[in-house]
Amino acid sequence: MSHTDDFPLLDITGLSNQGQGIARLSQGPESGLVVFVPGALPGERVRAKIRERTKNYLVADIVEEIASLGPADCPHVSLCGGCALARLPYSEQLIWKRDFVRQAMLRTAHLGADELETQLADIEASPETTCYRNKMTFAFGDDQQGNLILGQRSPHSHSIVPTPQCARMPDIVQSICQCCTDFARTQHLEAYRQGVGQGLLRFLVVRQGFLLESHEQGLWLLLLSSPSEKQVRRKIVRLAEELLAAFPEIACFVHEERKSRDAFAIGEKRIFVLGKAQDARLALPLADRFFNLDTASFFQVNTSASQKLVHVVQNLLLPSAGRDRHLLDLFCGVGAPGLLYAKHFADVQAIEVQKASAIQAEMNARAFGMTNYHARAGACQKLVQSVANADVLLCDPPRTGLEPLTLSHLLSRDDLRSICYISCNPVTLARDVRLLSKRFAVSTIVPVDLFPHTPHVESVVLMSRCS
């Protein structure tokens, strides 16, 4: 193998749904073979080093940029990997994201190319592309000198990259992160090292929201740590008090602990709550409502684009509604967006995995005056079998999609007439669409961009019972 074969000159012509540039070798014994190049984007030319060879493709790392698209709007893009598409003009990002959905539907759902021409709508763009996130998760780690740092996790790595000029949230968030870092270093609080399962501080989650009664805007902080002794917990109380005093914008500070050795930013035990929102709840707007949720609850992170998402769902879902129709809302979260459409149905049976979210969904239903909405918590694949009537299904599962038992049950129901499926993963969405197509036909697919500058894309699919 020659030096040229190991360091080929590559013209990037495509983009994977993971945000990696795609090229083809133009010469040598492997000519024509696909090469995936992390960090490269369509329109660029790079010299890269082959680091992985398989029968069907190669993976290469950039060693020299010959022709580049130029800098991104954030200086940390090349290191943190959170915004892999940031150097692409936003209009081109949208074209590629729509194509991610199209390719998944062709290759995995096995829909016909001619059908897709009419089924796949134009992508809905995000109204905001900078500082659009209402939630950011920062991880604690150590730099090369062993000093504690707080930032974003590098792609496919346990390494943490400080991001003091992140373009996705306001400057105050970076100031808060710096204060947390300084306090932890002064008090000798160690970062959690996932690789060995040791250490204390794991994540700092920052959310923008509104107080429940006054709808005054503020910030909610969730510090996640490993279980600790009382004296260490007292230090975290002091951290909370210092932050609340230094930043009047902070409405609430929550400390939770997690014992499991994993990378999930989800607490297993709540230790304390301090601040104006002493019950740790906040409100976030959606359509013409404010949804109440806990600091740890799931909610869409792009507030302005979420308004577009619920409008798309409404347009697809409501033609199947009626006061004699029954809506089944799977993975309902805190009730969004299903509660927005409850008044158009006889009743809504909602199922949610997280008990706290299901309780919050019931509270939101009462606040909205929706007496026909009922939420239960538990395993979806079990609870769905106990729902007596379901003419219409609204589902918004996690990235892994629907479980096999849930899919099997939905296919066995004779009462189910239509499905409105919201997904953040085109691949698992297409897999489920293929399975559901045994009894349901795709009517419409609408991509929605909730995550500008990333390869992620939301999709809404309407399926109707085959005649």
- For 101-140, write each residue's pLDDT tens digit: 999 999 999 999 999 999 999 999 999 999 999 999 999 9
Q: How far apart are the first and last CA of the chain?
A: 59
Question: Which range among 17-31, 162-176, 407-421 has the greatest average pLDDT?
Answer: 407-421
14 vs 26: CA distance, rounded Å = 15
Could you tell me the sign of the dihedral formed by the alpha carbons of 210, 216, 218, 221, in that order? negative
Does the 302-465 domain belong in CATH 3.40.50.150? yes
- Between helix 404-412 and helix 426-436 the angle, nearest 10°, is 40
- Provide CB contacts within 8 A for 115, sequence distance 6+: 442
pLDDT of residue 3: 47
For the domain made up of 135-285, give the CATH fold.
OB fold (Dihydrolipoamide Acetyltransferase, E2P) (2.40.50)
Same fold for the pair 3-70 and 302-465: no
Strand 322-330 with 289-294, pairing? unpaired
Among 332, 380, 420, 424, the active-site one is: 424
* Three-class DSSP category at 41: coil
Structural domain boundaries in the chain:
3-70, 135-285, 302-465
Cα 10 to Cα 58: distance, rounded to the nearest angstrom = 12
Contact 456, 450 (CB under 8 A): yes
* SS3 of residue 109 by DSSP: coil
Q: How many CB atoms lie within 10 A of CB 272?
A: 13
What whole-number distance in Å separates Cα of residue 462 and Cα of residue 120?
11
On whether the CB atoms of residues 331 and 357 are closer than 8 A, the answer is no
- Residue 40 CA, chain-centre distance (Å), reads 23
CA atoms in the 13 A half-sphere facing the CB of 321: 20
Q: Could you read off the pLDDT of 349-391 as tens digits, one per residue?
A: 999 999 999 999 999 999 999 999 999 999 999 999 999 999 9
37-55 confidence digits (pLDDT tens) = 999 999 999 999 999 999 8
Q: Which of 160, 237, 231 is nearest to 191 (CA)?
A: 160
Query: To 5 degrees, how large is the angle CA 87–CA 90–CA 95?
Result: 110
Cα separation, 344 vs 301, in Å, equals 27
| pLDDT band at residue 156 using 50, 70 and 90 as cut-offs | low
| Ramachandran area for residue 274 (φ above 0: left; ψ -120 to 50: alpha; else beta) | beta
Contact of 226 with 199, CB cutoff 8 Å = yes
**424 included as an active-site residue:** yes
Check residue 249 and give its pLDDT.
97
Q: What is the pLDDT of residue 168?
A: 85
- Please determine, for residue 78, whether its predicted confidence score (pLDDT) is greater than 80: no
Kindly state the DSSP code that residue 372 receives in the 8-state scheme. Answer: T
The tokens for 37 are 């190049």
Contact assessment for residue 464 and residue 316, using Cβ atoms and an 8 Å cutoff: no
Place of tokens 């490269």: 40
Percent of the chain with pLDDT over 90: 85
pTM: 0.94
Q: Classify residue 15 by burial, with Cβ atoms within 10 Å: 0-12, 13-18, 19+.
A: buried
Look at residue 180 and give its three-state secondary structure.
Answer: helix
**Distance separating alpha carbons of residues 42 and 27, to the nearest angstrom:** 20
In the CATH scheme, what is the code of domain 3-70?
2.40.50.140
- At 210-236, the pLDDT tens digits run 999 999 999 999 999 999 999 999 999
CA 431 to chain centre: 19
- Tokens at residue 195, please? 């690789």
- Rounded to whole angstroms, the Cα distance separating 266 from 30 reads 46
Strand partners, 140: 150
Residue (of 36, 44, 38, 92) closest to 70 by Cα position: 44
